[in-house]
Amino acid sequence: MEEKKLINHIKQEMRVGEQQARKLLAGLHDALGYHHDMGEMYCSEINVKDYKDTIQNAHDALKILNAALGNLSETNRLLIDDYYREANNSDKTMIDLANAEMFETGVPKSGFYQISQRMQNALEKAEENIKAPGAGNARRDGKKYIAAIEALRQNFLDVFPDKKPSASPETLFYRYVQIWFQCFVDPENPDKDVRRHISNALNHKENKVKHVKGKK
């Protein structure tokens, strides 16, 4: 849909003037950018079985690596930090990690060993979160819109600071998100129910706020 028609569509559906419609349109474009950049992280079209097998293989390899490193003395593990520096253009990342651990705990620990253990932890977490096609895949499909809808939420509040974003179909925010899906994401399904996607995004935002408050 060309820009002029989009603006008229927004003016009619959102009951706003020209200036507000242009701000809302800019928000739709911003959300599309976030969707393209970050939505791929949760893309549901990946082959879940192949992905799971690859993660498991990498995880198993790291467990073997860390078991082998664990059999070395700390002195020999610290030597690997030096070899890392020599092999990677004088990169002192591993040595700096070892020094930071020594400063914090008084006990030296190879930076290379620290990183390899962290990588193992990361893949263990990845394995825990891999879901087979079905309900898990649906969750992943819902998550891929979170960044975009958060961008829409912020833009919506800039234009309507007194209106609370909600997943209710009776609200203006729901209509705003629906316009985004209709015009940019899924034009073949103009009546798409977007309540689940909005709820995912709003709940994600609320949980992040609670997490930050809990740290204080």
pLDDT digits (tens, 9 = 90+) for 84-137: 999 999 999 999 999 999 999 999 999 999 999 999 999 988 887 665 444 444
Say which amino acid occupies 203. N
CB atoms within 10 A of CB 62: 19
**DSSP of 178-214, one letter per residue?**
HHHIIIII-TT-TT---HHHHHHHHHHHHHHHHHHHH
Which of 37-41, 94-98, 137-141, 201-205 shows the lowest per-residue confidence on average (mean pLDDT)? 137-141
pTM of the model: 0.53
Instruction: Give the pLDDT of residue 209.
Output: 44
Q: Is the per-residue pLDDT at 43 higher than 90?
A: no
Alpha carbons 187 and 178: distance in angstroms, whole number:
10
Instruction: Give the pLDDT of residue 96.
Output: 95
- Cα torsion at 118, 119, 123, 129 (round to 10°)? 50
Alpha carbons 126 and 48: distance in angstroms, whole number:
12
Instruction: Give the pLDDT of residue 211.
Output: 39
Q: Hey, CA dihedral for 121, 141, 38, 210, is it positive or negative?
A: negative
Alpha helices for the chain (secondary structure H):
3-14, 18-38, 48-70, 74-87, 93-105, 111-129, 135-143, 146-159, 172-180, 195-215
**175-200 as b/e: b if 16+ CB within 10 A:** bbbbbbbbbbbeeeeeeeebeebbeb
Q: Hey, CA dihedral for 168, 172, 173, 174, is it positive or negative?
A: positive
CB atoms within 10 A of CB 89: 6
Which SS3 state, helix, strand or coil, does residue 71 take?
coil
Of the two residues 187 and 144, the one the predictor is more confident about is: 187
CB atoms within 10 A of CB 24: 25
What is the pLDDT of the chain when averaged over all its residues? 85
Q: How confident is the model at residue 44 (pLDDT cuts 50, 70, 90)?
A: very low
Tens of pLDDT along 5-33?
999 999 999 999 999 999 999 999 999 88
Q: How confident is the model at residue 3 (pLDDT cuts 50, 70, 90)?
A: confident
